[in-house]
Amino acid sequence: MGHERVSSLPQKTQKWVDLVKKMRSMYADGIPVETVAAQTLQNVRRQYESLSRDDAVKTVFTFLVVFSHACRFDDPIGELKATGVSLPDEPTLLSIVKALRQQMPMDKAASEYGQLALAAAADALGKWYKDNATKQLPLFKPTSEFLESWRRLGTGSGFCELSRLFFGRLTERYLNYFLDRVASAIFPSLQQRNQFQHDVKSHVDDVSKHAFETAKITQSFAAGWFNAHARDHVLGEREVEGFLAIAFGKLRDELRREEEGK
């Protein structure tokens, strides 16, 4: 796979259990905070056992790889068109996200996995562009200079940043998804469940940061993998699934370490 070993495990600003403890509703009598936190991590970890084989996730990540590959060329729109991805001559961030959605079959896009993966990829593209634009260009107004801001995405370092953003956004969504379900099953009253949902929203930035820090473990091999497998040719489904299997495996290991309090 051409990846490098991680010299050190991701450093977290705060542990997941400590983040969950900050939510006021968790101080209600009889609420097992540690159990809620651990069960959430366990559920995400189990979910990640099969996501590398999910068609929706593979479609979304393939688009990110194909788009990154095309950004290496003088005519990225032509390169994308050759792979079945259509963009207008003067694309915007909105048209790129639209092209992403068009790659997803309607039944997959409507699925739970599909919606989470699409949202994570769209967020990752928007964040990468915001962080790397050579100058402030309109996000939704067509301009011939727009694609110039994406050139660095065609490098190993650019792709590994986008990859980490995607896995971070996806992990953020699954943490919130399972935290809500685990906690809601424990709270005895509707009022407590509503208060908990309010608490989760008030800590959305903390959850996002924790997920991004967790996803750092995927960054160590993404650049090498891209340079070795995706920089100079368009990938097949098997290669993408192989990358995803390693990435989700690393994320599961990291979630397990945190679940065990390490």
Is-contact 96 67, C-beta < 8 A? yes
- Rounded average pLDDT per 10-residue block, the chain, 262 residues: 46 87 71 88 96 93 95 91 90 93 88 92 95 62 65 92 97 94 82 82 91 91 88 80 95 93 70
Amino acid 32: pLDDT: 83
> What pLDDT is stored for residue 6 in this prediction?
42
In a domain, 10, yes or no: no
**2: in domain:** no
On whether residue 5 sits in a domain, the answer given is: no
Q: Confirm if 80 and 70 have CB atoms less than 8 A apart.
A: yes
Within a domain: 57: yes
Identify the pLDDT of residue 153.
93
Tokens for 117, please give them. 């993966």
Residue 49 is given by DSSP the state T
Q: Which two tokens stand for residue 211?
A: 């997920």
pLDDT at 261: 76
The answer to the question of residue 20 being in a domain is yes
Return d(Cα 182, Cα 43) in angstroms, integer. 9
Give the per-residue SS3 of 184-248. HHHCCCHHHHHHHHHHHHHCHHHHHHHHHHHCHHHHHHHHHHHHHHHCCCCCCHHHHHHHHHHHH
pTM here is 0.89
Q: What is the pLDDT of residue 7?
A: 41
Say what the pLDDT of residue 134 is. 62
Q: How many domains does the chain have?
A: 1
**How large is the greatest C-alpha to C-alpha distance in the chain, in angstroms?**
62
Residue 8, in any domain of the structure: no
Whole-angstrom Cα distance, residue 34 to residue 193?
Answer: 18
- Between CA 129 and CA 54 the distance in angstroms is 27
At 247 the pLDDT is: 96
Residue 151 resides in a domain = yes
Contacts of 177 (CB under 8 A, 6+ apart): 116
Residue 161, domain extent: 16-259
In sequence order, which residues have a C-beta less than 8 Å from that of residue 25 and are 6 or more positions away?
A: 31, 183, 187, 192, 195, 196, 198, 199
> Between the CA of residue 33 and those of 16, 135, 205, 213, what are the distances in Å?
11, 45, 20, 22
178 found inside a domain: yes
